[in-house]
Amino acid sequence: MESYLFPFDSLICMLLGISFTVWFTLLLVFIIVPAIFGVSFGIRRLYMKSLIKLFEVSELMLSMSSLPPTSYLHHHHNPALFFPPGIIAKEPLSLEQEIQDMRRGGAEPEFDMSDIFYFCRRGVESIVDDEVTKRFTAEELESWNLLTRSNYNFHHISTQLTALWGVGVLIRYGFLLPLRVTLAFTGVGLLVVLTSIVGLFPNGRMKSYLSDKVHLMCYRICVRALTAIITYHDRENKPKNGGICVANHTSPIDVIILASDGCYAMVGQVHGGLIGVIQRAMVKACPHIWFERSEVKDRHLVAKRLSDHVADKSKLPILIFPEGTCINNTSVMMFKKGSFEIGCTVYPVAIKYDPRFGDAFWNSSKFGMVNYLLHMMSSWAIVCSVWYLPPMSRMEGEDAVQFANRVKAAIARKGGLADLLWDGGLKRGKVKEVFKEEQQKLYSKVLVGSSEDCSRS
């Protein structure tokens, strides 16, 4: 009986061996080698075009059902302002105008009991829909992109659509995910090994050259591991040595996206585990800035290390995300002024993801890092646009906060994101009393300012 199994056994082994070899050769030729040299076969763009066709088909299927057709906003290459449809049509009038409107024209602007309605309405508006909370949850899509996780209101529509979704699941989890995980391990492994090797060289031009090449290559492999399709605009404005590059922050992937097109010095806290290993290896090849947890609190120390790095023109530009936390890529929140106080040239960069192919936003209160990476690697793709803005410096008479706001506005405008005053730290902390005082100040100006007029007449 057993003798029957042997020929089949060897056949199966042979088949497995052949398929593995083919698999790895394809991987090498189509993905790793282009990554090393920074060229592209255009496979990913082809993939993206076919995905767009797929979404159009699913849109058609949706519209054929009894639902009213959803409008399909082509905000992919269009950095025009995209405001998600909110529940509120907020009246953009100022406090003074509102209160004067509420009282009959001609009435003296003294305290009126109905003034309370202004604050009351604002309060209820924020209960129904507020600007801050919705920045920290994933952006809502106009139409379904066949991923369960973005399925808010699109429940079971038709069997055809469900079948399409099922095929999608098979492709994503059965083919794409293993491929990407392999690539990711390759990329990270190569990074650690090669940077350690480069670290053995003596400091000099050769070392910097090799370090740049190694970093770029490994980041490019990681980019392919996520099937990230990135369009870079205005590359002539790329950051130069002795400057700071600031960008809006949506996910940890931002680093990989920017670093695969240019070489930067990273800034961050020292971690343990795998990330710690990567950090220690990277710093052997070229100077990155890693802080111990205790040092992070000391603002002077941080500022000094940053300015020392920037003063040395042979060192790479520093990459900083001034928002301090991940925002969901519909807006840019308050920039922390620390990096703007150093007084060197700032190179702003705007990053905008296209949410149709996969949502890159990391909601750290909902998902851990591993979960997040799994989500990333089982989406269709990560499609984004990067704009390099012209360099900015602090002007005469401008303080760090004003400079930060100016840079923030430029980034928001270029990327088509809403420019908000809110502090990203609000995700976790309480509202500062100072905001309430602002409201009180505005209101008192309306009253007291006018009573001064009265007393004069």
Partner 1 sequence: MGSTSSTLLKIPNVEVLMQETGFSPAHMIRLHDRFKALDKEGRGHLCPQDFGAIKELAMNPIGDRIIGAFFCPGKETVDFHTFVKILAHFRPVDKNRPKEPNSPEPINSRSNKLRFAFQLYDQDKDGKISRDELLKVLQAMLGMQVTEEQLESIADRTIQEADLDRDDAISFEEFRKVSPEILHSRCFIKV
b/e sequence 248-273, b meaning 16+ C-beta within 10 Å: bbbbbbbbbbbbbbbbbbbbbeeeee
**Residues near 172 by beta carbon (within 8 Å), at least 6 away in sequence:** 378, 379, 380
Neighbours of 141 (CB within 10 A): 19
For residues 93 to 132, the per-residue mask of contacts with partner 1, x marking binding by CB under 8 A and - elsewhere, is -----x--xxxx-----xxxxxxxxxxxxxxxxxxxxxxx
In the complex with partner 1, the residue whose CB is nearer, 206 or 448, is 448
In the complex with partner 1, the residue whose CB is nearer, 125 or 398, is 125
Q: Shortest Cβ distance from residue 269 to partner 1 (Å)?
A: 26
In the complex with partner 1, the residue whose CB is nearer, 98 or 142, is 98
Q: Shortest Cβ distance from residue 86 to partner 1 (Å)?
A: 9
In the complex with partner 1, the residue whose CB is nearer, 14 or 448, is 448
Q: Shortest Cβ distance from residue 95 to partner 1 (Å)?
A: 11
Query: Is the Cα dihedral 84, 90, 95, 97 positive or negative?
Result: positive
Which DSSP string do the residues of 363-389 spell out, in sequence order? Answer: -TTT--HHHHHHHHHTSS-EEEEEEEP
Contact 263, 217 (CB under 8 A): no
User: Among 387, 381, 379, which Cα is nearest to 414's?
Assistant: 387
Task: Choose which of 40, 78, 94, 133 interacts with partner 1 (CB under 8 A).
Answer: 133
- Binding status of residue 87 toward partner 1 by CB under 8 A: yes
For residues 66 to 85, the per-residue mask of contacts with partner 1, x marking binding by CB under 8 A and - elsewhere, is xx------------------
Q: Shortest Cβ distance from residue 167 to partner 1 (Å)?
A: 21
Contact 378, 177 (CB under 8 A): yes
- Binding status of residue 393 toward partner 1 by CB under 8 A: no
Number of residues that bind partner 1 (CB under 8 A): 57
| CA–CA separation, 359 and 159 (whole Å) | 25
Task: Choose which of 77, 313, 430, 456 interacts with partner 1 (CB under 8 A).
Answer: 430
Query: Is the Cα dihedral 85, 86, 87, 90 positive or negative?
Result: negative
Which among 61-69, 194-202, 300-308, 313-321 is the span making contact with partner 1, rule CB under 8 A?
A: 61-69
Q: Shortest Cβ distance from residue 101 to partner 1 (Å)?
A: 6
- Binding status of residue 367 toward partner 1 by CB under 8 A: no
In the complex with partner 1, the residue whose CB is nearer, 165 or 264, is 165
Tokens 């500062």, residue located: 432
Contact 190, 217 (CB under 8 A): yes
- Binding status of residue 418 toward partner 1 by CB under 8 A: no
Task: Choose which of 65, 97, 162, 393 interacts with partner 1 (CB under 8 A).
Answer: 65
- Binding status of residue 14 toward partner 1 by CB under 8 A: no
Q: Shortest Cβ distance from residue 423 to partner 1 (Å)?
A: 9
In the complex with partner 1, the residue whose CB is nearer, 131 or 234, is 131
Phi and psi at 336, nearest 5°, equal -75, 140
In the complex with partner 1, the residue whose CB is nearer, 151 or 182, is 151
- Binding status of residue 142 toward partner 1 by CB under 8 A: no
Q: Shortest Cβ distance from residue 161 to partner 1 (Å)?
A: 11
H-assigned helices in 416-432: none
Contact 31, 223 (CB under 8 A): no
Strands ordered across the beta sheet of 265-269: 228-233, 382-388, 346-354, 244-247, 318-320, 265-269, 289-291
Which residues contribute to the site for partner 1 (CB under 8 A)?
65-67, 87-89, 98, 101-104, 110-133, 137, 152-157, 422, 426, 430-431, 435-441, 443-444, 447-448
